Amino acid sequence: MAIKSNVLVLLLNIVASCFTLIRCDVVEVDLGGTWIVTNGNKSISVPGNVPGNVHTALYKNGTIKDPYFRFNDVNYRWIAYDNWTYTRSLEVSKDITSKRQILLVFEGLDTVATILVNGIQVGKSKNMFHRYIFNVKGALKTGLNTIKVRFTSAVLYAKGQAKKSPYRVPPQCPVCVQRGECHGNFIRKEQCSFSWDWGPAFVPQGIWRNVLLQAYDSAVIRDITVTPTKGSVNVTWQLLVTTFIDAAEDGVTGTLLLSLPQMSRSQKLPIKLSQGLQKVSLPVMSFTEKDCVKPWWPQGYGKPNLYTVKVVFVSSSGKEQSSVSRNMGFRKVNLVQEHIKDAPASVSGRGFHFEINDLPMFLKGANWIPADAFEDRVTSSVLRNLLQSAADANMNVLRNWGGGIYQHDEFYSIADELGLLVWEEFMFACAMYPADQEFLNSVKEEVRYQVRRLHHHPSVMLWSGNNENEAALAEDWYNTSSTFSRYANDYVKLYIDTIRETLEEEDKSRPFLSSSPSNGVDTEMEGWIAKTPSSPYWGDVHFYDYKMDCWNVSGYPKPRFASEYGFQSYPSFETLAEVSVEGDWTYDSAFMEHRQHHGDGNEQMLYQAQKHFKLPSSSDPLKKFMDTLFITQVTQAQCMKTETEHYRRLQSELVQGKGKTMGTIYWQ
d(CA 446, CA 191): 15
Told to judge if 338 belongs to the known catalytic residues of this protein, a careful annotator would answer: no
Backbone φ, ψ for residue 661 (5° rounding): -70, 130
d(CA 421, CA 406): 15
DSSP 18-59: HIIIIIIBPEEEE--EEEEEE-TTSS-EEEEEES--HHHHHH
d(CA 247, CA 517): 43
Cis peptide before 523 (omega within 30 of 0): no
d(CA 530, CA 519): 7
Say if residues 425 and 466 touch (Cβ distance below 8 Å): yes
d(CA 174, CA 536): 29
Q: For residue 61, what are the β-bridge partners?
A: none
| Other beta carbons less than 10 A from residue 194's beta carbon | 27
Say if residues 153 and 184 touch (Cβ distance below 8 Å): no
Which member of 190, 468, 506, 643 is catalytic?
468
Triad 134, 137, 141: Cα angle to 5°: 120
Beta strands 663-666 and 363-368: pairing type?
Answer: parallel
Q: For residue 135, what are the β-bridge partners?
A: 103
Cα atoms in the 13 Å half-sphere on the side-chain side of 17: 6
Beta strands 397-400 and 421-425: pairing type?
Answer: parallel
d(CA 497, CA 96): 42
Distance of CA 490 to the CA centre of its chain: 23
CA dist 302 to 296, 331, 414, 625, Å? 8, 12, 16, 46
d(CA 79, CA 70): 17
Which member of 190, 320, 425, 564 is catalytic?
564
CA dist 64 to 46, 52, 67, 200, 276, Å? 12, 16, 8, 17, 45
8-state DSSP, 127: B
CA dist 407 to 223, 395, 415, Å? 17, 19, 11
Dihedral class, residue 251 (left if φ above 0, else alpha if ψ from -120 to 50, else beta)? left
8-state DSSP, 304: B
Told to judge if 564 belongs to the known catalytic residues of this protein, a careful annotator would answer: yes
DSSP 498-557: IIIHHHHHH--SS-EESSBS--THHHHHTTT--SSTT-TTSS-EEE--SSS-TT-GGGS-
d(CA 529, CA 519): 9
Q: For residue 220, what are the β-bridge partners?
A: 246
Q: Which positions are annotated as active-site residues? A: 468, 564
